[in-house]
Structure 1
Amino acid sequence: MRPRSHLPDPERRARSRLTQILHDQPFLCGSLVPMQRTCGKPGCKCTRGELHPGLYLALRVGGKRKMIHVPQTMEQAVRQWVANYQEAWHLMEQISEFCLKRFFVKKEQLRGKRP
């Protein structure tokens, strides 16, 4: 494999940031969903319609969609983990676009070499 120094600067920066996220930061492949629920306790205000607010992590586990409650004490960390995943996904899309451009250039070069 050729050294990264031959890559365009934007692609090199995207690859560097992606590596940093994947190696140094936790990430979660999911999205955050605010929901209001009842607790089930008789006499609670939620039985009268004042539902309890909560944050849930929506993700796929074993091919099935799950909704996992996020405790308030973990909310900030989980938000960052989901943001890290979204940034990594965006960077992979950018890198893929650079690779696709190189693919088309090489494809055209091969066409020019045909007899």
Structure 2
Amino acid sequence: MQKKAALEKLSRLRGALGDALKELETTLEVAFERSALVKGNVYELARKCGKPTCACAEGQLHRSMVLSWSHQGKTRLMTIPPEKLDRLRSGSEQYLRYRGARARVTEMCKRILKLLDQIEKLRRKKP
């Protein structure tokens, strides 16, 4: 009876391992895409220029699209020309998808290793 229960558990673990591998394969598809990755976030920045007679001194702030990213521990900003906005926004979104997939792969690999350890424990025999 104990052997039958162990075989059933082994079968469930193998099924879970197969499911985890399929999920891993699906998650890794983002790594095979060819689109460019742009580290950072694209957003609209509104600020005052500092001239006392400018309209921004009364609330009409100057607006521009910027790319913000971290480099060597410091946040960097780059004003984005209108002709590059779509490309940089798309690249930034792709980068976020890629990093999210990378984080999920890390968790999946931990889960797969745990399943492999459990399978080994059930299959291992004393010498």
Q: How high is the TM-score relative to the length of structure 2?
A: 0.67
List runs of 5+ in structure 1 lacking aligned partners: 1-5
Q: State the distance in 2 between where 1:104 and 1:73 align.
A: 49
Q: Does residue 100 of structure 2 align to residue 90 of structure 1?
A: yes
Q: What is the number of equivalent residue pairs in this alignment?
A: 107
Residues 48, 97 of structure 1: alpha-carbon distance in 2 compared, 3 angstrom cutoff: same
Post-superposition CA distance 1:11-43 (Å, at most 9, x none): 2222233222xxx22112212232212345674
How far apart are residue 88 of structure 1 and its match? 0.5
List runs of 5+ in structure 2 lacking aligned partners: 1-17
Q: State the distance in 2 between where 1:108 and 1:69 align.
A: 53
Indicate the residue corresponding to 1:3 in structure 2.
none
Compare relative contact order (CA 8 Å, sep 6+) and give the higher one, 1 or 2: 2
Indicate the residue corresponding to 2:60 in structure 1.
50
Q: Does residue 37 of structure 2 align to residue 27 of structure 1?
A: yes
Q: State the distance in 1 between where 2:97 and 2:91 align.
A: 10
- Taking every aligned residue pair, what percent have the same amino acid on both sides? 18
Q: Does residue 82 of structure 2 align to residue 72 of structure 1?
A: yes
Q: Does residue 22 of structure 2 align to residue 12 of structure 1?
A: no
Q: How high is the TM-score relative to the length of structure 1?
A: 0.72
Work out which of the two has the higher radius of gyration on C-alpha atoms and give 1 or 2: 2
Q: State the distance in 2 between where 1:72 and 1:44 align.
A: 24
Larger helix share, 1 or 2: 2
How far apart are residue 72 of structure 1 and its match? 2.3
Indicate the residue corresponding to 1:105 in structure 2.
115
